[in-house]
Amino acid sequence: DMAIGGSTNAVVHLIAIAGRLGIPITLNDFDAVSRRTPWIANVKPSGEFLMEDFFYAGGLPAVMKEILYLLDGDALTVTGKTIRENLERAQCHRREVIRTVVEPLNPEGGTVVLYGNLAPDGAVLKQTAASPRLLQHRGRAYVFETYQEMRAQIDREDLPVDENTVLVMKGCGPKGAPGFPEWGHIPMPRVLLNRGVDDMVRISDARMSGTSFGTVALHVAPESAVGGPLGAVRTGDEIELDVAARRLELRVSAEEIKQRLAQFQPAPPHYARGYGRLFLEHVTQANLGCDFDFLHK
């Protein structure tokens, strides 16, 4: 996933699978893998080419052979052969699509993990699909309290935002939505699209499709619906993103954040009975895989 600039969803899914198997994996493990894995697949939305081009260039076997030094080549697979044996005949046919590790598109992998007072338990960002100019950014927040509010306002011609604004959306995490939907790719405001602006920093506790482009911080944990600091953000607050430092900070004093969160009132539960109630009572936060807590070993 890191080498191809793949989906941020891989993080939450793999943590959930590992949790059911009793294998301890954390967000820090993913960030460590990202730091040592070069991005070599020049595929949209991060790169230039289509998945069809990737397939004909050699596809995943060609990528795996290129990064075999990072894999356990002796691991047995469903073919009855080891990973190394499976890759013996793999070839790359187009180096502009699948790069070498010596000349990667980026020395680090696709997804990075961010921490800070806005995401004490972590957030993720797909740096290969982000705008380089925004990887270190400071701007004023414009806050949407809900997904529905965002949809109602995003195309307003008088929306008071500019290219430096940081869009923040709350209530879209595992419990808040509920269900952790792929709402994190907040659309660009029409007022900015009309000026030719194609990206801005966006932050939420939601997920995002692997086909989406933009400088988007996702999976903020703990989510706003359970009293996470994302819920304390107000329009006009300054937010700082520093991908190299892996930081996501709300530039408001700790005391002010504490006072704001003390006023937090959880919304009435979406479900009072049945599976919905079971989900709300037992689903874990994004950093723990958004899975039922009773299924973890």
Residues with a known catalytic role: 209
HEC letters along 220-264:
CCCCHHHCCHHHHCCCCCEEEEECCCCEEEECCCHHHHHHHHHCC
**Are the CB atoms for 111 and 10 separated by under 8 Å?**
yes
Helix/strand/coil for 46:
coil
Distance CA 85, CA 106 (A): 28
Give CA separation, 213 vs 155, 195, 217, in Å: 19, 19, 12
**Are the CB atoms for 223 and 232 separated by under 8 Å?**
no
Strands 111-116 and 119-126: antiparallel
**Are the CB atoms for 236 and 250 separated by under 8 Å?**
no
Strands 136-144 and 238-242: antiparallel
Residue by residue, DSSP assigns 85-125 as HHTTT---S-TTTB--SSS-SBSS-SEEEEEETTEEEEEEE
Distance CA 168, CA 166 (A): 6
